[in-house]
């Protein structure tokens, strides 16, 4: 008979994997007292969210047998978890009422499917060297609040290749192969052929590429960061002063155009620029090893990973002829009512 696991056991496991960072069961999350309970806000009225590592919703005494792990909680994940009969869902990114549950109260969805919800975001960052390892790099320094920037989650990593002689082309190939970019692009092409789309785009199409430099350019030392977290030209200038042999900027989990001001700043500093991956692929960096660690510590749990595929097609090609006629009919009614 398999070992009985309760939700409280899973919380204790997260506390073990992120020591000192996950509040205990029954502990009131207080950002004034707990450094890993963090308010996230852009200053947009009514859109702030509190990040709470560990248990978000559920009875700690609840027995759990099947756990789903994903990057960002969505209504689709909740419904898929309900369909699969999962007992709990653990996501990397912070959870919010309505935003994570189709515009309705999260509690209502969780009660509908008898689901517990947990999250582990900033509290899991910085406790493992996953990014460096999966990209074939060795991390030399991890710098929080670099250049005085106090944006939650902002960090810069200074790395060098694990093996000498790595080129920009090698870095792109490694990231593309690890994230199976070729298969992702193949899925988009299959969808295009299956549904007769003339054009289709997806996040995988924009990952693993060189924005400045040539494939044969060698890497000595690089700055690794996610540009969405607040990276600015001043940070690149500071890094070059601190590390005169810095020659590459490696940007992951958000995408840039070759004309972006960060790329222009790198050009001025003679730094190569490589895009590694879109944010959705963070499931490999954080969710996959977290899932494996939980499985090792709680082997009786059945664990499922949630993956998302996002594609974009022209409006004129969405749905079948019935769906398009429906859209035109409702649009016509709306226009008539609006005068």
Which residue range is the domain that position 145 belongs to? Answer: 136-275
For residue 319, being part of any structural domain is answered with no
Distances (CA, A) of 62 to 13, 24, 83, 88: 15, 16, 19, 10
Q: Are residues 163 and 102 in the same domain?
A: no
CATH number at residue 47: 3.40.1390.30
For residue 336, being part of any structural domain is answered with no
CATH number at residue 144: 3.40.1390
Q: Are residues 233 and 215 in the same domain?
A: yes
For residue 24, being part of any structural domain is answered with yes
Which strand (E) or helix (H) includes residue 295? helix 288-297
Tokens encoding 55: 């248990």
Give the chain's domain count. Answer: 2
Q: Give the angle subtended at the CA of 143 by the CAs of 139 and 145, to the nearest 5°.
A: 155
Q: Are residues 101 and 180 in the same domain?
A: no
The domain boundary, picked from 252, 275, 298, lies at 275
Using alpha carbons, select from 124, 106, 59, 107 the residue that is nearest to residue 87: 59
Residues 6+ apart with CB under 8 A from 293: 17
pLDDT of residue 1: 36
Q: Is the pLDDT of residue 204 over 70?
A: no
Q: Are residues 270 and 293 in the same domain?
A: no
Q: Hey, which of 124-138, 170-184, 254-268 has the most confident mean pLDDT?
A: 254-268
Can you tell me whether residue 40 is helix, strand or coil?
Answer: strand
Judged by phi (left if over 0) then psi (alpha if -120 to 50, else beta), residue 183 lies in: alpha
Q: Are residues 69 and 86 in the same domain?
A: yes
Q: Are residues 153 and 248 in the same domain?
A: yes
The domain boundary, picked from 250, 275, 300, lies at 275
Q: Are residues 244 and 146 in the same domain?
A: yes
**For the chain, what is the mean pLDDT?**
90
Can you tell me whether residue 29 is helix, strand or coil?
Answer: coil
For residue range 102-128, list pLDDT tens digits in order. 999 999 999 999 999 999 998 888 787
For residue range 36-94, list pLDDT tens digits in order. 999 999 999 999 999 999 999 999 999 999 999 999 999 999 999 999 999 999 999 99
For residue 266, being part of any structural domain is answered with yes
For residue 102, being part of any structural domain is answered with yes
List the single range of 69-73, 197-201, 265-269, 329-333 with lowest mean pLDDT: 197-201
Q: Is the pLDDT of residue 129 over 70?
A: no
For residue 146, being part of any structural domain is answered with yes
DSSP 227: G
Q: Are residues 74 and 191 in the same domain?
A: no
Q: Are residues 239 and 176 in the same domain?
A: yes
Using alpha carbons, select from 333, 323, 159 the residue that is nearest to residue 245: 159
For residue 184, being part of any structural domain is answered with yes
Q: Is the pLDDT of residue 154 over 90?
A: no
Q: Are residues 231 and 164 in the same domain?
A: yes
d(CA 273, CA 263): 7
Q: Are residues 119 and 151 in the same domain?
A: no
Q: Are residues 141 and 269 in the same domain?
A: yes
pLDDT of residue 54: 96
The domain boundary, picked from 234, 255, 275, lies at 275
Share of the chain above pLDDT 70, in %: 96
For residue 328, being part of any structural domain is answered with no
């Amino acid at each position: 008979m398999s070992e009985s696991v309760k939700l409280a056991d899973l919380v204790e496991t997260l506390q073990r994997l992120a020591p000192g960072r996950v509040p205990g069961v029954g502990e009131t999350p207080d950002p004034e007292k707990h450094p890993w309970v963090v308010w996230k806000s852009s200053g947009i009225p009514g859109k702030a969210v509190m990040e709470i590592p560990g248990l978000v919703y559920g009875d700690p005494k609840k027995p759990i047998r099947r756990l789903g792990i994903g990057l960002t909680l969505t209504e689709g994940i909740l419904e898929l978890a309900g369909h699969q009969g999962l007992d709990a869902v653990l996501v990397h990114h912070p959870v919010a009422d309505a935003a994570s549950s189709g515009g309705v109260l999260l509690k209502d969805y969780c009660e509908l499917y008898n689901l517990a919800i947990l999250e582990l975001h900033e509290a899991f960052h910085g406790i493992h060297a996953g990014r460096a390892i999966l990209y074939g790099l060795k991390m030399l320094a991890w710098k929080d609040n670099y250049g005085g920037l106090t944006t939650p989650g902002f960090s810069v990593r200074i790395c060098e290749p694990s093996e000498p002689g790595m080129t920009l082309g090698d870095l792109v190939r490694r990231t593309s192969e690890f994230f199976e970019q070729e298969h992702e692009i193949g899925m988009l092409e299959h969808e295009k052929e299956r549904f007769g789309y003339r054009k289709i785009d997806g996040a995988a199409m924009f990952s693993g590429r060189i924005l400045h430099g040539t494939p044969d350019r060698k890497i000595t030392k690089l700055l690794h960061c996610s540009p969405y977290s607040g990276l600015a030209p001043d940070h690149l200038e500071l890094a070059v002063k601190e590390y005169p042999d810095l020659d590459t900027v490696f940007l992951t989990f958000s995408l840039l155009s070759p004309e972006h001001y960060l790329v222009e700043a790198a050009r001025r500093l003679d730094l190569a620029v490589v895009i590694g991956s879109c944010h959705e692929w963070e499931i490999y960096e954080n969710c996959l090893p977290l899932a494996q660690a939980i499985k090792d510590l709680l082997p009786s749990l059945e664990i499922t990973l949630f993956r998302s595929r996002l594609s974009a097609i022209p409006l004129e090609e969405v749905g079948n002829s019935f769906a398009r006629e429906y859209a035109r009919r409702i649009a016509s009614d709306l226009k008539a009512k609006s005068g």
